[in-house]
Amino acid sequence: MNLQNLNLEIEKIVHDRDWDQFHSIKNLSMALNVECSELLEIFQWMTEKDSNEIKADPALKLKVEDEVADIFVYLMRIVSKADIDLEAAVLSKLKKNAEKYPVDKSRGNSKKYTDL
């Protein structure tokens, strides 16, 4: 995945439609939340087993793909507007999570780090 190329495509769509005026980080954060809720709605009444088998249903998989793409686009807009190095931020967060969730206490355990 080339994030730089994707970001250029996103920026072109935004620029061509003069949408940047609406894309404050606050508004983008709210839009991101709405898209996450739309993804959640797809799975709302499914069993866990059914949710893990979406790839067997092409129409359902397409709905999920569309919502995931919307989420990603809004996330990329936030990253761009806030001048965040996404790779560095993710690597930093993974390091923090590894420290908060040591393998010997976390393996096979879903508890929050404060409860380990």
Query: What is the predicted pLDDT for the residue at 36?
Result: 98
Pick the closest to residue 23 from 67, 72, 75 (CA basis).
Answer: 75
Asked if residue 75 has pLDDT above 90, the reply is yes
Extract the tokens encoding 88: 């560095």
CA distances, 32 to each of 19, 28, 68 (Å): 15, 6, 10
Q: How many CB atoms lie within 10 A of CB 76?
A: 18
Q: Confidence class of residue 19 from pLDDT cuts 50, 70 and 90?
A: very high
pLDDT tens-digit profile of 33-49?
999 999 999 999 999 99
Q: What are the structural domains of the chain?
A: 3-105 (1.10.287.1080)
User: What is the pLDDT averaged over residues 94-98?
Assistant: 97
Is the pLDDT confidence value at 1 over 90?
A: no
Coil, strand, or helix at residue 82? coil
pLDDT at 11: 96
